[in-house]
Amino acid sequence: MSELEIIRESLLNLEPEKLVESVKASLAKGVSPENIIDAITDALRVIGEKFERGELFLVHLVAAGEAAKNVISEYIEPLLKEKGRKSKIGRVVLGTVAGDIHDIGKNIVASMFFAAGFDVIDLGKDVPVQNFIEAVKKHKPNILGMSALLSTSLPAQREVIEALKKNNLREKVKVMVGGAPVTAEWAEEIGADGYAEDAVEAVRVALKLLGKEE
């Protein structure tokens, strides 16, 4: 089995320690960080597909996503930064909107984006409208993602979109919304560009919005 296959296998088998070991071993042997990320992304894509088919559960998806995120941020990212490289896929700014402190779902989405090779800037939870605007100005993301779990915090998603328009930023970023009370109809009504039911679909929708569909 090649180094990259071992990385792929250890993630598919949900073995975080083995994943770390195999990534370290690969780097020591001179495998490029880009190739390692590709192997990890590929394994996560397989896990995502299995989740969608019901063969794996949410917990497996999250465990794999977190394991991938940890190994990438600890061992791969520093190398990429040294080389001054940016993500070739895109950048996403994420946050749970003001008035809402539910962030587990948003965190899962963040790790899925991260593991798919996006640069992820996570603004956290209960994020005021103004913080979203400033983050878009500062980080110039391709995607802005907003999460809401409460029906009472849903309107904040609309407020952010309205504020983007006021600041002439709306055309510069694709807006995605998600969360339990969010529907495709709501996304359309408030003028969002995309909506997804779960974290796996969110990444797919984002890639589509950016014209990077597989």
For position 13 contacting another protein by CB under 8 A, the verdict is: no
For position 62 contacting another protein by CB under 8 A, the verdict is: yes
For position 184 contacting another protein by CB under 8 A, the verdict is: yes
Q: Kindly tell me which of 116 and 173 has the beta carbon lying closer to another protein.
A: 116
Total residues contacting another protein by CB under 8 A comes to 16
How far is C-alpha 163 from the chain's CA centre?
A: 23
Token code pair at residue 170: 């709306």
- Of these, 183, 188, 191, 212, which contacts another protein (CB under 8 A)? 183
How far is C-alpha 152 from the chain's CA centre?
A: 25
d(CA 64, CA 62): 5
Minimum separation from the CB atom of position 171 to another protein (A):
28
Paired sense of beta strands 174-178 and 119-122, if any: unpaired
Spatial CA neighbour of 206 closest among 192, 190, 195, 191: 195
For position 104 contacting another protein by CB under 8 A, the verdict is: yes
178 phi and psi, to 5 degrees? -160, 175
Residue ranges that bind another protein, judged by CB under 8 A:
14, 57-60, 62-63, 65-67, 104, 107-108, 183-184, 197
